[in-house]
Amino acid sequence: MADLRIDRLNKSYGTAHVLSDIGLSIDNGEFVVLVGPSGCGKSTLLRMIAGLDAPTSGDIRIGGKLVNALAPAERKIAMVFQSYALYPHMDVRKNMTFGLKFTGVKPVERERRVAEAARMLRLEALLGRYPRDLSGGQRQRVAIGRAIVREPDVFLFDEPLSNLDAALRVSTRVEIARLHRLLGATMVYVTHDQIEAMTLADRIVVMNHGRIEQVGKPLELYYSPADLFVAGFIGSPAMNFFPAEVESIEDGSARIAGDSIAPFVLPAGTLKPGAAVTIGVRPEHLTPAAEGDFATAGVVELVERLGEASYAHVRRADDKMTVAEIRGRRTPPPGERVQLSAPAADIHVFDADGRRVTTGP
């Protein structure tokens, strides 16, 4: 068990900066998810923690020890790969024990660990099989088992569920969460799937263009995204954005207006008169009602029915699309004009640079 500290980490290939000034502190036993669009550098960061890639500059400490110059095996980490990376010519038992031979674990101890991991992951019946005879989910469980038997300080997961089908993804996700509770180990998990991030993480690290955009608890990111990128990335369907302007400020209240929204008043906070802002409202906070602190309108173009809710895609005055979640059995038919509104508490305001503006007291 150990904590993980990353300090001003940089990685560049020639002139291309893959990671810029990454600083991150992960506590012992914490489950941290690195999330971001493909190419944001999250896998590179994980590979550098593992020791598979060398950083251009910066420090990585595991359990207080500087590990920059250590080989992967000396860092007391274990990694689970997206492609499982099982040794194809070894059976499940051998796959799990192969690495232990070289780290000085005695045969009796090896057997004990394999038995325990197999019990934990329900692999007992598969120990004699070869990877080619296993299903995708079983293979991934073997890969996780191979990580467990190493008894590492830090577990690293590189998109472990991406190759599984939807149903298996959900059950394996639950399995990983259960495992984290059971082992209490520090885990770093890379994914591009925000549902995995939201459900598994103690803290989420949102990355974009090789930088950390925001670090926070899942609901913190959901309720107070630091910038437009995080706001748009976390939540599905994505947050709706409306360009607007601060018309005036009177008695601590800002009057905000835009092409596609009805003028409304917010506590001014740090807003300045005449400033261009972006208003963000999540689809699930928009309700079809004429009354509300925030209001917009448009023509329904398409309705997606999921059962527990429907998503209405509405074309608004500035010709952009807005998505609203509609609960209940009645959904507006395409072509109908609808009024959508949201309470002031669910409105996010971002300044011209895309940073969140704190409004209200």
Partner 1 sequence: MVKQRFQIFGVHAILIAYCALALGPILLVVMNSFKTRNAIFGAPLAPPTATTFSLIGYMKVFNASHIGTYFMNSLIVTVVSMVLVLLFGAMAAWALTEYKFRGSTALALFLSIGIMVPIRLGSVAILTMMREADLNDTLTALILVYIAQGLPLSIFILSEFIQQIPRDLRDAARCDGVPETRIFFEVIAPLLRPAIATVAVFTIVPIWNDLWFPLILTSSDSTHTITLGVQQFLGQYITDWNSVLAALSMAILPVVAIYVVFSRQLISGLTAGAVK
Instruction: Kindly state the smallest distance separating residue 291's Cβ from partner 1, in Å.
Output: 52
Q: Which is nearer to partner 1, 134 or 198 (CB)?
A: 134
What is the smallest separation between the CB atom of 99 and partner 1, expressed in angstroms?
3
Residue 99 or 232: the one with the smaller Cβ distance to partner 1 is 99
Nearer residue to partner 1 within complex by CB, 138 or 341: 138
CB of 37 to partner 1, least distance (A): 22
CA–CA distance, 41 with 324 (Å, rounded to integer): 32
The first and second tokens of residue 141, run together, are 């469980």
Nearer to partner 1, 68 or 253 (CB): 68
For partner 1, give the closer residue by CB, 101 or 327.
101
How do 65-66 and 57-62 pair as beta strands?
Answer: antiparallel
Closest contact distance (angstroms) between CB of 314 and partner 1 is 40
| Interface residue list for partner 1 (CB under 8 A) | 47, 50-52, 71-74, 77-79, 81-89, 98-99, 102-103, 130-134, 136, 139, 146, 150, 163
Mapped onto helix, strand or coil, the DSSP state of residue 189 is: strand
Adjacent-strand bridge partners of 253:
250, 267
CA dihedral sign of residues 82, 85, 88, 93:
negative
Q: How far is the CB of 127 from partner 1 (least distance, A)?
A: 16
Q: What are residue 196's phi and psi, to 5 degrees?
A: -60, -45
Q: Residue holding tokens 């309470």?
A: 343
Q: What is the DSSP letter of 238?
A: P
Region label for 118, one of left (φ > 0), alpha (ψ between -120 and 50) or beta (otherwise) = alpha
Pick between residue 139 and residue 141 the one whose CB is nearest to partner 1: 139
Shortest reach from residue 177's CB to partner 1, in Å: 22
Backbone angles phi, psi at 306, to 5 degrees: -105, -10
